[in-house]
Amino acid sequence: MQRSLSTPALYCPFPTQLNPLVAQADEHTAQWVQQFDLVRSAEVWQHYREQRFTWMVARMFPDAGLEELCIAADLNTLLFVLDDQYDEATAATEAVRKKENFELFLEQVRSILEDHQRKTLSQHGPALAAISDFWERICRLSSPRWQARFAESMKRAFVANLWRIELVKQNRLPAVEEYMRFRQQFGGANFFADLVEVMEGISLPDEVIWHGTVQTLITLCSDTICYANDLFSYRKELQQGDEMNLVMLLKHHEGLSLEDAVFKATRIHDDKVQQFVRLSRQLPSFSAGVNRELVRFVNALAVMMRGNIDWSTLDTARYQMV
């Protein structure tokens, strides 16, 4: 690992893969974004096309069928659009208004996920209508117990974003430990790990999913995806004055140079990947069939980590300097 301000070489000893249906899914998502009026400017949409959000999920879920991949690509693009809209509001007065609106938005999302209320573009606006459409489609492919688990993960992600909004309102930077506790949730990595089962056609009993070892592997996967994103994006965020990033928080709270903060964040990422590798060799044992599915699941988590890095370095223009 070189101590350099260039893009860090991250440890991730898993194979590079790409779903061959990526181009078809990308065309579907372009039409879906237009259908729900998520991006109203042709110029902005072209900017998003260059960021190739579909390639991210195509690398994370290389064996997903077309219907599944389209669902993941739609959700991924929607989340990036919503995240960018949040980042545009940084002043404290704007954040207060945003927090009130966000709490109302969160209640509407809850009604979609838990009560299966259908939201329409004309009555509820683009974001809620798009979430409603995503939820209807993925519910047709999943079990009620998976839906309950995914809904809980997504709610935790939105609650973590309320925490993030409150920080902006207070003009406060979180401690590194606090940030690391919330990072995978406000980044959405927690419910992307849930998507693995539906995308890859994996079926695991609840007792397996909730086993301590499996939960630790899921957490390690989600954390490393977010820390990798921080390492790829810190230069752009530094230029924009955004310090809500592991690199910048290490620099701020520990009095490090930028070079040393990048080095330490990279070590944090790499250490967690190494923990994942070690723990994946110590899986709990169930029946023979469940054990095979569990191995598939853990391998899919590994592919997600590799896919995120490959997308960041090979596909997207998102982390280019402004």
The pLDDT value given to residue 162? 86
Tokens representing 295 are 């191995």
**pLDDT at residue 176 greater than cutoff 60:** yes
Give me the domains of the chain, ranges plus CATH numbers.
22-315 (1.10.600.10)
Of 33-42, 97-106, 114-123, 184-193, minimum mean pLDDT range: 97-106
**pLDDT at residue 84 greater than cutoff 80:** no
Percentage of the chain with pLDDT > 70?
93
Say how far apart CA 310 and CA 322 lie, in whole Å.
Answer: 21
The pLDDT value given to residue 89? 52
**pLDDT at residue 2 greater than cutoff 60:** no
Mean pLDDT over the full length of the chain: 90
Say how far apart CA 146 and CA 168 lie, in whole Å.
Answer: 33
Residue 300 phi, psi (nearest 5): -65, -35
Of 89 and 290, more confident: 290
Task: Sort 164 into a burial class: Cβ within 10 Å, 0-12 / 13-18 / 19+.
Answer: buried
Provide the pLDDT confidence category of residue 294 given band limits of 50, 70 and 90.
very high
CB 61 within 8 Å of CB 69 = yes
Rounded to whole angstroms, the maximal C-alpha distance in the chain is 57
Tokens representing 242 are 């955004």
Mean pLDDT, residues 194-210 taken together: 95
Say how far apart CA 224 and CA 268 lie, in whole Å.
Answer: 8
**pLDDT at residue 47 greater than cutoff 90:** no
Q: Which residues, in sequence order, are CB contacts of 194 under 8 Å at separation 6+? A: 146, 149, 150, 153
Percentage of the chain with pLDDT > 90?
72
**pLDDT at residue 37 greater than cutoff 70:** yes
Helices (H), 144-211: 144-170, 176-186, 189-200, 206-209
pTM of the complete model: 0.91
Provide the pLDDT confidence category of residue 246 given band limits of 50, 70 and 90.
very high
The pLDDT value given to residue 201? 95
Mean pLDDT, residues 14-26 taken together: 97
Say how far apart CA 90 and CA 171 lie, in whole Å.
Answer: 9
Q: Which residue in this structure is represented by tokens 């990279």?
A: 266
Task: Sort 61 into a burial class: Cβ within 10 Å, 0-12 / 13-18 / 19+.
Answer: buried
Say how far apart CA 53 and CA 59 lie, in whole Å.
Answer: 10
The pLDDT value given to residue 97? 53
Mean pLDDT, residues 234-253 taken together: 88
Of 30-44, 67-81, 210-224, minimum mean pLDDT range: 30-44
Of 45-59, 78-92, 95-109, 115-129, minimum mean pLDDT range: 78-92
Half-sphere exposure of 115 (CA within 13 A, CB side): 8
**pLDDT at residue 98 greater than cutoff 90:** no
Of 4-8, 34-38, 209-213, 263-267, minimum mean pLDDT range: 4-8
**pLDDT at residue 4 greater than cutoff 50:** no
- ∠ CA 63-29-117, rounded to 5°: 95
The pLDDT value given to residue 82? 85
Which residue from 132, 129, 138 is spatially nearest to 112, judged by alpha carbons? 132
Task: Sort 10 into a burial class: Cβ within 10 Å, 0-12 / 13-18 / 19+.
Answer: buried
Say how far apart CA 238 and CA 30 lie, in whole Å.
Answer: 30
Q: Burial letters for 301-318: b for 16+ Cβ neighbours within 10 Å, e otherwise?
A: bbbbbbbbbbbbeebbeb
Of 6 and 280, more confident: 280
Tokens representing 199 are 């995308």
Residue 174 carries which DSSP code? P
Say how far apart CA 200 and CA 313 lie, in whole Å.
Answer: 24
Report pLDDT digits (tens) over 118-131. 999 999 999 999 99
**pLDDT at residue 90 greater than cutoff 80:** no
The pLDDT value given to residue 194? 94
Provide the pLDDT confidence category of residue 86 given band limits of 50, 70 and 90.
low
